[in-house]
A and B are shown apart, each in its own frame.
Chain A
Amino acid sequence: MGRKRIVNILLKEWQFLFTDINTTLLVTILPLLIIGQLILCIWLAVNFAGESALNITIFQNALANLQRATPEVALLSGGERFQVLLLSQFSFYMLLIPVMISVSVATFSIVDEKLSGSLEALLATPVKTWELLLGKALAGAIPSLIVTWICSGIFLLAVRAMGWGYLLDMVMTPVWFISLFLFTPAVTILSFLLGVIGSSRAKDAKGAQNLVLLVVLPVLALIALQISGIIWFTAFSALIMAFGIGVVDYFVLRVAVQLFQRESIVVRWR
């Protein structure tokens, strides 16, 4: 029954989400803006900073990490090495897409139901709290994950169109695949679960958004740490991270269920 109810929630949420023009625009425009910004940054960095950027200490550290992981990078020119360094960050940069979407979508998920009065009727059905919260989180996480993967494809096409395609062999390493197909889903579910927690605890969507913004900061920190060479993900460490966040997802769902106080939601929200 759990799966049937979760699917029921998913189908309704998707229908509801995509009848909302603002959400549809957000889910389509925001990822394209993020990709465009990334391409522009790389283009600017390559054309205006070029090889000289490698004199900056933090990039030297990151490049050293990159060359250890992918030795053939050493055979490239300085400008090309800098390009590979930037391109190899994009799978982490893509994490911003689901996280940003969750800030907007998940944070409304419970608040909207409270305000419309539908939540009390919903709580009078046999739906279990974990089914409701997981359904709400997946309803946002699945489309934003699909959008993220589509955007990754668009990004790769754009990279080829820019004439940088010959560098992609050095970018699309196992770390890239693990990041995109394991790490990103785990972080996406985490950010949506936090969004749903925020939505069930906050008095309005704004309060919930403030909570979810806390997820954006670690993602930005992750990108900064990687590009500055302080940390460097190997296939193994990326796998461990993805698994670790998957475990965190499970516990966050349990915490979400504990924090979902039916009484205060029904009684205080009028």
Chain B
Amino acid sequence: MTIIEAHNISKRFGDITAVEDLNLEVDEGEVLGFLGPNGAGKTTTIRILAGIIAPTSGYAVIAGHRTDGEIDSLHEVIGLLTDTPGFYEKLSARRNLEYFGGFYSNVDVEAHVEKYLKLMGLWERRESRVGTFSKGMKQRLALARALLHEPKVLFLDEPTAGLDPEAAQEVRELVKRLSNEGRTVFLSTHNLTEAEQLCHRIAVIRTKLLALDTGLNLRHRFFRREVIIRLVDPSITIVDAVRKLTFVEDVKEEDGQLIIGLIEPDKNRPELVKAIVGASGKILEVSEREHPLEDIYLKLIREEK
């Protein structure tokens, strides 16, 4: 079931176009990675989808609530982690959450504050002033704030930016847990490894939406699939035997491995292995070359330039 729909969304600030004709759909329970360089329109898109700013044209529907309609009901079903986790620094963590929780209807604020402070590992520091918190603690508190009313859709803008590796890992674990609970997460990030680990699909934006698909499909779309065969001794006889196969597009030898381009990798692989063994090749390992998401991202961004 689709829970986020963006229909022809454009946003201009004076002469500058921040987002152009964005169309996308996100399914319930999906984690969508939203990637793009600085100034690509990621934060603007999140603000539009979260009903904080209005698009110049187009509209979005989030969990059945239109962004150009009554945004108060939209805000009941979304949680937003902004890129700067602003708090009232003189007030305690508990008081901050109680305040934000107090704006939602049908939320047991006291119980939820306790639940999410415990979940974020901040319960022991609940009476401490937020001003005394580290950046990582503030980020966790901001996540608690975004989750407090148990929203169906979460917009996370750079949730691990500036966090130490341990804190970043905790945040990633939390996103996985939320996904397992069936919540939809719209995750804007610069961290491609993080996007790869967490997201079901990846959207790449640079004012316009450049790509939207699973990591695997994006790889297949932008890079030819190549099989890597590690051999005990990659002799010329074996290379020649492989080259003779009709379904082989090309063969390269790199660091004692054969990198082989196949017309239909899934179908051709068993025959390829059979041919190598037939040519007395001793196979140590067969794998497929995985282009990192970074390669796809950079290719997309450079092509757009």
Contacts and interface: CB of A to CB of B under 8 A. Distances in A.
Contact of B89 (A15, A116, A120, A126): A116
Interface string A2-28: 001100100010011001100000000
A123 interface: yes
Contacts of B8: none
B216 interface: no
B286 interface: no
Contact of B76 (A118, A126, A128, A266): A126
Interface stretch (B97-105, B118-126, B257-265): B97-105
A12 to B, nearest CB: 5
A126 B73 contact: yes
B53 A262 contact: yes
A231 interface: no
Given A4-B102, A5-B102, A126 B86 contact: no
Contacts of B47: 266-267
Contacts of B86: 113, 116-121
A12 B72 contact: no
Nearest to A127: B103
Given A8-B99, A121-B100, A128 B82 contact: no
- By secondary structure, the A interface counts as helix
B91 A12 contact: yes
Contacts of A125: 75, 100, 103-104
Contacts of A169: none
Interface in B22-63: 47, 50-54
B88 A121 contact: no
A128 B82 CA distance: 19
B273 to A, nearest CB: 55
Interface in B74-91: 75-76, 78-80, 82, 84-91
Interface residues of A, number: 27
How many chain B residues sit at the interface, stated as a range, is 20 to 34
A29 interface: no
Contacts of A20: 90
A109 to B, nearest CB: 12
B103 A266 contact: no
Interface string A243-270: 0000000000000000000110011000
A80 to B, nearest CB: 51
A126 B54 CA distance: 16
B296 interface: no
Contacts of B82: 117, 120-121, 124
Contacts of A221: none
Nearest to A119: B86
A1 B105 contact: yes
B74 to A, nearest CB: 8
A122 interface: yes
Nearest to B80: A124
B145 interface: yes
A257 to B, nearest CB: 14
A19 B131 CA distance: 13
A126 B91 contact: no
Contacts of B72: 126, 128
Given A16-B91, A116-B89, A124 B76 contact: no
A225 B90 CA distance: 44
A125 B78 CA distance: 8
25 contacts: A12-B88, A12-B91, A12-B99, A15-B91, A15-B95, A19-B90, A113-B86, A116-B86, A117-B82, A117-B84, A121-B86, A121-B145, A123-B52, A124-B75, A124-B80, A125-B104, A126-B72, A126-B73, A126-B75, A126-B76, A126-B104, A127-B103, A262-B53, A266-B53, A267-B13
Interface of A: 1, 4-5, 8, 12, 15-16, 19-20, 113, 116-128, 262-263, 266-267
Closest 8 A/B residue pairs (Cβ): A117-B86, A8-B102, A118-B86, A117-B84, A125-B103, A124-B80, A126-B75, A263-B53
